[in-house]
Amino acid sequence: MSEERSAGLHDTSAAPGAGAEAEVIACSDFSASDLDAYGAFAFGCPAMGFEELESDEFEPMWDDVEAELPGRKVALFGSYDWADGEWMDLWRERAESAGITVADAVIAKDYPDEAASVDCKALGAALA
């Protein structure tokens, strides 16, 4: 999900509205050593490959943090286009197999429409 789109998640102000602050961080700038600085995490990645995570920047970061996420507040979000969101089902299953409790998972076809924007606000509130 592009920075503009992930920023849109935070622009909904759901987490701040619920009394929390949100910071948008590019996956290339985030690693397991940053986890303790935050109380909750919304990881965003579009469907790439064949219903896969983006492999150049996002998946290396996810590989790094995954084992450290159990016990933390985690939500997932991302956009897709021609399929039906299977990549998110697979990602969520992978996360849960690693012991991560996924508080919420939001998908948007191409760009968040009104319904997906509502879902994004709920995701932020779930993490606050």
Residue numbers at the binding site for ligand FMN (CB under 6 A):
1-2, 5, 46-51, 79-83, 87, 110
Distance CA 82, CA 93 (A): 21
Task: Supply the minimum distance, in Å, between the C-beta of residue 9 and ligand FMN.
Answer: 12
Question: Looking at beta carbons, which pairs linking 31-34 to residues 24 or more positions away fall under 8 Å?
Answer: 31/61, 31/64, 31/65, 32/64, 32/65, 32/67, 32/68
Task: Supply the minimum distance, in Å, between the C-beta of residue 81 and ligand FMN.
Answer: 4
Identity of the residue, 69 or 116, whose beta carbon is nearer to ligand FMN in the bound complex? 116
Identity of the residue, 64 or 86, whose beta carbon is nearer to ligand FMN in the bound complex? 86
Structure tokens at 57: 């920047």
- Torsion on CA atoms 14, 3, 73, 55, rounded to nearest 10: 150
Identity of the residue, 5 or 121, whose beta carbon is nearer to ligand FMN in the bound complex? 5
Task: Supply the minimum distance, in Å, between the C-beta of residue 25 and ligand FMN.
Answer: 15
Task: Supply the minimum distance, in Å, between the C-beta of residue 119 and ligand FMN.
Answer: 15
